[in-house]
Amino acid sequence: MSKRHINLRDRYTSNVEVEEVLLDASNVSSLDSARLEGKREQPITKLRVLSVGMLFLLIASAFFFKIYLLQVVQGDKYAEIAKNNSVDKALIIAERGVVYDRYGEMMIWNEVDESGEYDFPIRAYTDRAGIGQVLGYVSYPKKDNRGFFFRTDYLGRSGVELAYDDFLKGQNGTKIVEVDALSEVISEFAVNSPTSGGELDLSIDAALSEAMYSIIATSSAKAGFRSGAGAIMNVNTGEILALTSFPSYDPEVMADGDDVDLINEYNNDDRLPFLNKAIGGAYTPGSIVKPFVAYAALEHGVVTANTTIYSNGTLVIPNPYFPSQPSRFNDWRSQGSMTMREAIAFSSNVYFYIIGGGLPEIAVPQAGLDAPLEGLGITRMAANYRRFGLGEITGSPLAQEQAGVVPDPEWKREVFDDDWRLGDTYFTSIGQFGFLVTPIQMLRAYGALANGGTLINPHVFAGRTGEKRDINLDAEKLQVIHEGMRKTVNMDRGTARGLERSDVAIAAKSGTAEIGAGNAFVNSWAAGFWPYEEPEYAFILMMDQAPRANRLGATTIMGEVMEWIGENRPEYFGIEVEEEIINDQ
């Protein structure tokens, strides 16, 4: 190595020149540090170079090991993931249609699932009570454990959701989804946009239905009724304004399916909250069938509207086989003398026993008649009941209907293997003895009484008219029935006095049906229409299974419903109100 080289090395590693010693703060500040003036350069040591090299080798080794692990050891696995999940075609679940009541209030709509459980809209339902069976609920689309839909549509399970499922369901769309090897979405775009389902406007007045439900619920608790149901219908179109069944359920709970305890409570409730009792429940009707018997008796000339029959509270029919054991058929009170109009108003059992089953000569003096009376007989009576739609379904899609039972000799032979007797006819004429009807059947039948003889199927689709059938009623004879039903409301001793009002004239009929072992319980009914002069609406209210000692009848309960209508929906009584007032309800 040259002497010059050694001197340079010593110069920069061990020697300090005099001028360097004299460097101090005063002259250092005048140097340009950005240009490295006043700086001494130090050489990089071998140790530092070696350390940097080792660090580089460690990092490079880690990278190569990871590459080896991904490409060699797990290469097949990630290749399969990349192959299957890089680009996929997925469903876009269409929104289901929104459901409104007759005033535009949303009954069912769609919401984003805040919990993140579903990646499609979930159904939301009104909080109004008593409409669960009407609205129904849905089951949601479902995915398998790989994330693929095996059920691609909402399924309507009951009520409106089931009845109008095809109308409410939309058309699903599709989208292309790009994902990385870890199945995380990188991008997506629609190929076919989904089409939302149709919007459904119901004829139902949600506020009125809720009010009717609350009144039924309160009355049930007060009087010991097990359950109840009610409905109001436009007699010219079949549109149902109010429809409720007590007890009810929360459709949102059923759609979500998360509240297992509450769902089990619904399932174990012996009052059957899932049953739409107005449509699917069959009950003994009692005296609300009497107007139909009265019409048939007029039509077949059994009596005239002014034929007078006397009731002292019991009709005694001698027993030809056991003279000492006559058959006794009780009225619910001593009625005295009455024509057909008063018989309807007083709901006399004896009067309808006689016009329904006839009166043998030996019993003529009891009824104040001059001669025996043939009566309708069970064949003509049963045919007339069926003429008004009893014993058949109305075709309502909202629930599974029962046809009910109109008793006749064929039915008794089939069920009891026994002959038909006079007492069977008597009891059938007052709505007892195996007689079963649904409230919606009776609503339709009373609608026909109100509108002059058109049997029209009830429905909940706003603006539509139900299927009609003309049952050929005579206007003069029908007027007698109307007058009797009006007297039921406005005459002393009438059985529906609780429905008398100053703002609208109501025609009605009450009914009490004895049920259970030893007739320990009763069903209470109220049926009728308004306005009396030009009927527009028919109603039905059924209170199920109260103790016999109960004195709270369905006509009183329906009177509370009418009071609510008068205060909150006076337009139903023909009273004009401003639109803003209606929309505020």
What is the percentage of the chain residues whose pLDDT exceeds 90? 71
The mean pLDDT value for 520-543 works out to 96
CATH number of 87-201: 3.90.1310.10
Q: Is the pLDDT of residue 310 over 70?
A: yes
Strand bridging mode 454-456 / 468-470: antiparallel
Domain range list for the chain: 87-201, 206-270+278-573
Element (H, E) at 265: helix 260-268
- Count, residues in the chain: 585
pLDDT of 79: 66
- One CATH from 3.40.50.1980, 3.30.420.40, 3.40.50.2300, 3.40.710.10 for 206-270+278-573: 3.40.710.10
559-569 per-position pLDDT tens digit: 999 999 999 99
Rounded Cα–Cα distance for residues 135 and 204 (Å): 10
pLDDT at 4 over 70: no
Of the pLDDT bands very low, low, confident and very high (cuts 50, 70, 90), residue 520 is confident
Give the separation between CA 496 and CA 260, rounded to whole angstroms: 44
**Side chain identity at 401, as an amino acid letter?**
E
The per-residue pLDDT for 134 is: 98
Which are the contacts of 128, defined by CB distance < 8 A and separation ≥ 6?
A: 107, 206, 207, 209, 210
3-state secondary structure of 503: coil
If you average pLDDT over residues 247-275, what whole number do you get? 95
Rounded distance, CA 528 to CA 499, Å? 10
**At residue 374, what is the residue type?**
E
Residue with tokens 């007339």: 384
Q: What is the mean pLDDT of the chain?
A: 89
CA distance to 535, 538, 583, per residue, from 102 (Å): 20, 18, 11
Strand ranges, E, within 3-139: 87-92, 99-100, 106-111, 122-125, 138-139
pTM, entire model: 0.83
For 515, how many CA atoms within 13 A lie in the half-sphere containing its CB? 23
User: What gap in Å lies between CA 386 and CA 223, rounded to an integer?
Assistant: 33
Q: What is residue 190's predicted lDDT score, i.e. its pLDDT?
A: 61
Which residue did the predictor score with more confidence, 114 or 237?
237
Please write the tens of the pLDDT for every residue from 438-451. 999 999 999 999 99
For residue 259, the Cα-to-chain-centroid distance in whole angstroms is: 19
- Residue 548 pLDDT class (50, 70, 90 cuts): confident
pLDDT score of 43: 64
The pLDDT score that the predictor gives to residue 36 is: 47
CA pair distance 215, 226, nearest whole angstrom: 14
- Residues 97-116 have a mean pLDDT of 95
Residue 210's alpha-carbon distances to 145, 241, 442, in angstroms, are: 42, 11, 21
Mean pLDDT across 489-515: 95
Distances (CA, A) of 44 to 47, 50, 52, 579: 8, 11, 11, 92
* 55-79: pLDDT as tens digits: 888 888 777 777 777 667 766 776 6
Distances (CA, A) of 229 to 212, 336, 446, 513: 9, 34, 16, 15
